[in-house]
Amino acid sequence: MADHQEPKIALITGSTSGIGLAIAKRYCEAGFQVAMHGVEAADEAAQALAIAGKEAKHAPVYFQADLSDNAQSAGLAPAVIQQFGRIDILVNNAGIQKVQPIDQFEYADFNRIVQISLDSSYHTIHAALPLMKKAGWGRIINIASAHGLRASVNKAPYVATKHAVVGLTKGVALESAEYGITCNAICPGFVLTPLVEKQVRDQAKAHGMSEDEAIRNVILAGQPTKQFVGLDEIAEMAFYLCGDWARSITGTTISIDGGWTAK
Ligand code: NAD
């Protein structure tokens, strides 16, 4: 990693919960100045900030924005840049899921998935990249999914969005490769977060089985390890990609999925 006295400035979207919060905690422990983000009001995000900031040299700062609102989405990265001067590390992590056959999917729900994951990544990259280029250093990490590489039934809008995030990753990597900037997509399999806990409840109900049975027979049926991926596994990879030793890793997808995409 470049030997700067000043801390790296890291914006992580959707970092009040799950994967984003785990990355925020890891980055705080590493001494980065973390800009945390969520849709929740500041008082609701306070607990997440306390968790992430427990071992922090630089206390994380919270930015609230509803990424399904285009103006708020476009304003997020500029607000962080206004406060800290730049964004060195950008993690586009915010995302939602809705499980339903495509012929029953309302356009508003489809669009919401696209806006929160894909459109927001455009906005943050668009704002952060010029300053990264100027600095000659930057890291962009997009949290895609195994669904950025494979499809599952009843998840077409999510699958389409995550495939697009992978495409965005490759395009941005090519455009920024000569500026000391890398752009990669981490593609997790199932990680037990609130996003998946809801799917466990829904699948148990839909199949008339217990939540344990739904986890083993439905949720993890396609994940060969039959184990959830740990939050620490994703956070550690997101940290590794920030290092100087990862400077030639760009434009790629990194699967952490218990063997899912080997099939
Ligand atoms: P989560 O539900 O625990 O957290 C979602 C985060 O997104 C929260 O911080 C929330 O504030 C934010 N968010 C939700 N709606 C928002 C909105 N309208 N505007 C702004 N922010 C909003 O989810 P997670 O499981 O940690 O997922 C994080 C990312 O990882 C997502 O992009 C998801 O698609 C991806 N992913 C998750 C899994 C998994 O199994 N959990 C697997 C592969 C990929």
How many helices and strands, by DSSP H and E, does the chain display?
9, 7
CB neighbours of 3 closer than 8 A, spacing ≥ 6? none
Are 55 and 29 in contact, with CB atoms under 8 Å apart? yes
Q: What is the DSSP letter of 146?
A: G
> Tens digits of per-residue pLDDT, 78-123?
999 999 999 999 999 999 999 999 999 999 999 999 999 999 999 9
With 0.75 as the threshold, say if the pTM is over it: yes
Contact between 89 and 10 (Cβ < 8 Å): yes
**Whether residue 240 lies in the annotated active site:** no
Ligand 1 pocket at CB < 6 A: 14-20, 38-40, 66-68, 93-96, 116-117, 143, 145, 188, 190-191, 193-196
Cα-to-centroid distance, 159 and ligand 1 (Å):
14
63 C-alpha to ligand 1 centroid (Å): 16
Assign 12 a pLDDT band (cuts: 50, 70, 90).
very high
The active-site residue out of 27, 62, 122, 158 is 158
Q: Does domain 9-189+229-257 have CATH number 3.40.50.300?
A: no
How many other CB atoms are there within 10 angstroms of residue 243's CB atom? Answer: 12
pLDDT at 2: 47
- Give pLDDT tens digits for 231-244: 999 999 999 999 99
Residue-wise pLDDT for 25-83, tens only, equals 999 999 999 999 999 999 999 999 999 999 999 999 999 999 999 999 999 999 999 99
Displacement of CA 1 from its chain's centroid (Å): 22
Query: Which part of the chain has CATH 3.40.50.720?
Result: 9-189+229-257
